[in-house]
Amino acid sequence: MTEIKKQRTDFQAARPTNVGIKGIEVYIPSQYVSEAELEKYDGVSQGKYTIGLGQTNMSFVNDREDIYSIEYPVVDGHFSLTCYVKALDQVYKAYSKKAIARGLVQEPISDEACNVLKHFDYNVFHVPTCKLVTKSYGRLLYNDFRGNPSLYPDVDQSLATLDYEKSLVDKSVEKLFVNVAKPHHATRVAPSLNVPTNTGNMYTGSVYASLASLLSYVDQEQLQGKRIGMFSYGSGLAASLFSLVVRGDISDIVSKLDIDNKLQSRECLTPQQYEAAIELREKAHLQKSFKPTGSIDHLRAGTYYLTEIDDKFRRSYSTKE
């Protein structure tokens, strides 16, 4: 019995190391609409989508590409954005405590701040909009500033003790730390946004699409041994912050992702065509005994597409030849 217990203890102690991602697939619809053209079509001010949201293009589908969970989300504007920022703050504190306790942090700022610029080489986020990601990276640096104001001696030191709730909505703090973070953002965050800025919000999948973007647009050798912070968020709400370290050859992952080709080979459609596709989706919403009518001409070979929903909501699919 003693020997069995010893074997079991030895087995439990020998946890596997370097367990991680060996492959990623990101599906990108083969049609998109220009956000600049959409601004004109919607009659909004120039830059509302392209600057205000940080979006360049938006992928979309008709009733053939069978997505379901993203239909008609209900969003409570600024309250939803505040929840996102609060969640980021809390998981950064929780992550820092764990990472420090495990000896992963070389130069912690405090018990609740692991030091963003020293600990992470890159940061990837859930992406409602690319502009929110830019603000959120600055928010992480603000968290470090609150832990040790001397990190940024040129910043008004009284901002470190600003009431927490006020700090969530204070535009001067937000703008200030977006500027503080700007040079770091260009190399540590921006490559992860090449996909989101060209596809729009992928909801749950956005953080992993952003990871795929980072792996695709940063040189493989430059990524070796680097730590990537991953912020995952769901507006229910639930959130987590974890990190990955790149080890070994990732060329096969990047090659199979084929991100740049998927983006460049898409067809740009007009806002009117985008609107027509959305109308098809509206008609398909929650329907049974339904046959989609959208074209499959734009689908890439090998793409699964919806052919029918029967009277019991069972779905049938075919594959584009």
Q: How many CA atoms lie within 13 A of 146 on its CB side?
A: 20
**Contact between residue 135 and residue 189 where contact means Cβ atoms under 8 Å apart:** no
Query: Is cis: bond before 237, omega within 30 of 0?
Result: yes
Active site residue 119: no
Residue 135 assigned as binding residue: yes
Model confidence over 24-59: pLDDT tens digits? 999 999 999 999 999 999 999 999 999 999 999 999
| Mean pLDDT confidence for 238-266 | 95
Instruction: Please state the pTM of the whole predicted model.
Output: 0.89
Q: Which fold has domain 73-248?
A: Peroxisomal Thiolase; Chain A, domain 1 (3.40.47)
What local confidence, expressed as pLDDT, does residue 11 receive?
52
The confidence band for 121, taking pLDDT boundaries of 50, 70 and 90, is: very high
Residue 291 assigned as binding residue: no
Model confidence over 138-166: pLDDT tens digits? 999 999 999 999 999 999 999 999 999 99
At position 85, the amino acid (one-letter code) is: V
* Residue 278 to residue 33: CA distance in whole angstroms: 12
What local confidence, expressed as pLDDT, does residue 81 receive?
86
Alpha helices in the chain (DSSP H): 2-13, 35-42, 77-101, 116-119, 130-147, 164-167, 171-188, 196-199, 206-217, 220-223, 251-257, 259-264, 271-284
| Mean pLDDT confidence for 108-132 | 96
Query: Token pair of 35, please?
Result: 């956000």
Closest Cα to residue 304, out of 319, 282, 283?
319
User: Which H helix or E strand runs over 58?
Assistant: strand 57-59
Instruction: Kindly list the domain boundaries of the chain, sorted by start residue.
Output: 22-70+260-320, 73-248
Residue 215 has pLDDT above 80, yes or no: yes
Catalytic annotation, pick one of 78, 119, 126, 184: 126
**Contact between residue 26 and residue 212 where contact means Cβ atoms under 8 Å apart:** yes
Residues facing residue 292 across a β-bridge: none
Residue 131 assigned as binding residue: yes
Query: What is the DSSP track for 144-210?
Result: HHHH-GGGSTTS-GGGGGS-HHHHTT-HHHHHHHHHHHHHHHHHHTGGGGTTHHHH---GGGHHHHH
* Residue 207 to residue 242: CA distance in whole angstroms: 12
The confidence band for 243, taking pLDDT boundaries of 50, 70 and 90, is: very high
